[in-house]
Structure 1
Amino acid sequence: MTASLWLPDEDGGAVHTLGAPADWTPPPGPPRSRVAYAAAHVVADPWGDNVPGAPAAIDWDTTLAFRRHLWSHGFGVADAMDTAQRGMGLDWAATTELIRRSAAEARSVGGRIAVGVGTDQGDAPSTLTGIADAYLEQLAVAEDAGATVIVMASRALAAAARGPDDYLEVYRRVLGQTSGRVILHWLGEMFDPALRGYWGHTDLEAATATFLDLVTEHAARVDGVKVSLLDAGHEVALRRALPAGVRLYTGDDFHYPELIRGDDEGHSDALLGIFAAIAPVASRALAALDRDDPATYDALLAPTVPLARQVFSAPTRFYKTGIAFLAWVAGLQPAFVMVGGLQSGRGVLHLARTFRLADAAGLLPDPDLAAARMRALLDTAGLGR
């Protein structure tokens, strides 16, 4: 029997009939032609007191199971990043535990793991020395866990820096003490307004010049750069300007199909939050690229782009709510709750449209379960029919 339910929209609402579940049997292994990480969220404990400002209560079993889901589809896991609510509910104590648990789980299944390090473990440091020390404290935790390091953008540095030289001073000290090659993350202000003017400039061209100076100087210590600016043209130009051997991991959740496909001059690899939501489709698409079949790649990813643009629509920083919602309606977690109460970050109309687009992309493996959970959410909001 076909699952259906009434869904609200801007014009009132209509009955939506779900499509048949797609067969997304994982490819036999990770993609060969691209390096691909999915940035994973944390699953909150539905019995925990996850209210704004409270310490994060995590459902560890389901959080790790979600990472195994991503590894099973051939992705590396990028953990303890903004998708995991760094700076939006995930405190440092929970982050430390997340890094250790996820890295241990990666070893047990042979999965690729990279984790974010930043400066958010307590009161925001206000001096360049204090900011560098905070980075190094987190670096030690990540390296001790055996994970690849992602050096995240720092709100504290954005507040304290007087110009580009201050950014270079802090990053030089951090990069000078890494034991392996790291990924540098340039997160745009659309994801975090506190990062406006990062690299010492509000002008994108000037900020890029500073960033390239840093990467070029430390190319031997930089595996790649993750760029989350939602500007495809800028990303392509930056990709072409990077030193040989330094990857560009796209963080562009709007234009990822074209950037990963690339052109005659190269391609982007991937480190994407949306891949956590579309992993079954994306793994098949990347397998098509491995077979040099771009037409199938394009056809598979095309239905996911409207979903991605919906999930990452302004205010973009609340995209984490959509990621957790999609995991819930797909049956990958038991409840739609988030640390810090962030499940309230998107309204019911937004989530209803997200639900329709996920169905159109074939990402609801159990239509009856998905419909039942969406009905429950609408009932809670007073919109059930």
Structure 2
Amino acid sequence: MTIQLPGADGTLRTHEPRTEPLALTTGAPFTSRTVFSAAHVVADPFADTSPDSPAAIDWDATLAFRRHLWSHGLGVAEAMDTAQRGMGLDWAGAAELIRRSAAEAKSVGGLVACGVGTDQLTGPAATLAEVRAAYEEQLALVEASGARAILMASRALAAAASGPEDYLDVYGHLLRQASEPVVLHWLGPMFDPALEGYWGSSDLDTATATFLEVIAAHPDKVEGIKVSLLDAGREIGIRRRLPQGVRCYTGDDFNYPELIAGDEKGFSHALLGIFDPLGPLAAEAVRVLDTGNTAGFRELLDPTVELSRHLFQTPTRFYKTGVVFLAWLAGHQSHFTMVGGLQSARSLPHFARAYELADGLGLFPDPKLAEERMKNLLALYGVTQ
């Protein structure tokens, strides 16, 4: 059997789907790297909502997907941008997600870390005091849930700060208050344009210096950092300047195999949105790396980069659409609906290429189901087979 897929040039090409998935099984816990997948949320397709309505979540399917990730040994990075935080998921929804996911993690022994931000500030421009208070409210909730906290970049802080000293003050205040060490997240403007000039400067060298100054002043309160700048060289440079004991978690969805593999001077752990669709394959690769077989790790993970770069292509912030699309094709949810209607954010040729690449990697547990669902989507767009 074959399937006709539309290309970006408007023509159809023939693809022959795989008949068997890649053989992947669960295994022992990781020993050489700590690996988190930032996980998506599953919308409730029967909710009577509009793009401006609060998110309606299918909690059963959302938590089932997290159990899938935990079963393969991955940690879950919860309520991050992959969960459409700030792009359909408001703070009320994120707070409920954190509470439910943290409780589920406890019940199955899963590792979970949750995003702490300021997205309850939805009115007029916030003051620095209001930014601090919003961060404090969210940090308290995450800590009360028993999850590790990830201090996310704040749109409100980017708007309110007048320079690096404001970032030093706000983050210093939060780190002194944190009861346990946290992960600091530097999210670049390619993921969220409102974060341009974060850390007080659009010059990345100046911003990096401020970022490292925050960490150096509170090394006992920073468990790690997550760098999402899609710049492997800069991440390596930051990684080599971290205080002893502070981990670097790569958030680089373009260059993750080389960054996780590392070099003679160190390596990155991982906290990646692409590990949502790649979960079982990524876990298998890390277990190979645990044996010291770096070449085998790269052999498994390098071929996935083309898919990742496709999903994260400009405008990068809409990568969530491709992630949820692949979850639907893989059978992790019964529909392709997203909170905020974000399923409309990518084109049919984009979906077709994502399907083709994922199928080639053997990511679909049931290739026939994925083929049928892809054909159903094509039919809705008027593509007959």
- Normalising by the smaller structure, the TM-score range is over 0.9
Q: Distance in 2 between matches of 1:126 and 1:307?
A: 39
- Tell me the C-alpha RMSD between the 2 structures: 1.1
1:189 aligns with 2:201: no
- Quick check: 1:257–1:298 contact (8 Å CA) kept in 2? yes
SS of aligned partner of 1:276: coil
SS of aligned partner of 2:104: helix
- Quick check: 1:27–1:287 contact (8 Å CA) kept in 2? no
Name the residue aligned to 2:111. Answer: 112
Name the residue aligned to 1:9. Answer: 7
**1:164-203 superposed matches below 5 A:** 164-203=164-203
SS of aligned partner of 1:241: coil
SS of aligned partner of 1:303: helix
Name the residue aligned to 1:354. Answer: 354
Q: Distance in 1 between matches of 2:33 and 2:240?
A: 17
Deviations 1:299-352 (A, max 9, x none): 111221100000000000000001100100011111000000000111100010
- Quick check: 1:51–1:339 contact (8 Å CA) kept in 2? no
Structure 1 residue 169: Cα displacement: 1.1
Name the residue aligned to 2:134. Answer: 134
Name the residue aligned to 2:93. Answer: 94
- Quick check: 2:38–2:273 contact (8 Å CA) kept in 1? yes
Deviations 1:161-219 (A, max 9, x none): 11000111111111111110100000000000000000000000000000000001011
Name the residue aligned to 2:260. Answer: 260
Structure 1 residue 27: Cα displacement: 3.9
Identify unmatched segments of 5+ residues in structure 1.
Answer: none
SS of aligned partner of 2:277: helix
Name the residue aligned to 2:231. Answer: 231
Structure 1 residue 130: Cα displacement: 0.4
CA 1:5–1:50: 2 relative to 1, 3 Å: farther
Structure 1 residue 269: Cα displacement: 0.2
Name the residue aligned to 1:307. Answer: 307
Amino acid of the structure 2 residue aligned with 1:4: T
Deviations 1:205-239 (A, max 9, x none): 00000000000101100000000000000000100
- Quick check: 2:56–2:339 contact (8 Å CA) kept in 1? yes
Structure 1 stretch displaced more, 18-27 or 44-53: 18-27
- Quick check: 2:21–2:367 contact (8 Å CA) kept in 1? no
- Quick check: 2:24–2:281 contact (8 Å CA) kept in 1? no
Name the residue aligned to 1:341. Answer: 341
1:240 aligns with 2:220: no
CA 1:87–1:119: 2 relative to 1, 3 Å: same
CA 1:140–1:94: 2 relative to 1, 3 Å: same
**1:283-322 superposed matches below 5 A:** 283-322=283-322
Amino acid of the structure 2 residue aligned with 1:25: L
CA 1:50–1:349: 2 relative to 1, 3 Å: farther
Q: Distance in 2 between matches of 1:24 and 1:110?
A: 25
- Quick check: 1:249–1:270 contact (8 Å CA) kept in 2? yes
Amino acid of the structure 1 residue aligned with 2:5: L
Name the residue aligned to 1:151. Answer: 151
SS of aligned partner of 2:227: strand
Q: Distance in 1 between matches of 2:90 and 2:26?
A: 36
Structure 1 stretch displaced more, 89-98 or 120-129: 120-129
Q: Distance in 1 between matches of 2:155 and 2:87?
A: 12
- Quick check: 1:67–1:77 contact (8 Å CA) kept in 2? yes
- Quick check: 1:224–1:246 contact (8 Å CA) kept in 2? yes
Name the residue aligned to 1:219. Answer: 219
Amino acid of the structure 2 residue aligned with 1:371: E
Amino acid of the structure 2 residue aligned with 1:156: A
Give aligned-pair identity as a percent.
59
**1:66-77 superposed matches below 5 A:** 66-77=65-76
Q: What number of residue pairs does the alignment pair up?
A: 383
Structure 1 residue 23: Cα displacement: 4.0
CA 1:50–1:285: 2 relative to 1, 3 Å: farther
Q: Distance in 2 between matches of 1:164 and 1:192?
A: 19
- Quick check: 1:4–1:371 contact (8 Å CA) kept in 2? no
- Quick check: 1:303–1:360 contact (8 Å CA) kept in 2? no
SS of aligned partner of 1:275: coil
Q: Distance in 2 between matches of 1:123 and 1:311?
A: 29
Structure 1 stretch displaced more, 123-132 or 197-206: 123-132
Q: Distance in 2 between matches of 1:26 and 1:365?
A: 11
Amino acid of the structure 1 residue aligned with 2:149: V
Structure 1 residue 46: Cα displacement: 0.8
Q: Distance in 1 between matches of 2:256 and 2:384?
A: 36
Structure 1 residue 122: Cα displacement: 3.8
Name the residue aligned to 2:367. Answer: 367
Amino acid of the structure 2 residue aligned with 1:59: D
Identify unmatched segments of 5+ residues in structure 2.
Answer: none
CA 1:195–1:294: 2 relative to 1, 3 Å: same
Name the residue aligned to 1:20. Answer: 19
Q: Distance in 1 between matches of 2:358 and 2:322?
A: 11
Q: Distance in 2 between matches of 1:201 and 1:173?
A: 20
- Quick check: 1:151–1:182 contact (8 Å CA) kept in 2? yes
Structure 1 residue 131: Cα displacement: 0.2
Q: TM-score, normalised by structure 2?
A: 0.98
SS of aligned partner of 2:275: helix
Q: Distance in 1 between matches of 2:381 and 2:276?
A: 26
Amino acid of the structure 1 residue aligned with 2:288: A
Structure 1 residue 17: Cα displacement: 1.0
- Quick check: 1:26–1:283 contact (8 Å CA) kept in 2? no
Q: TM-score, normalised by structure 1?
A: 0.98
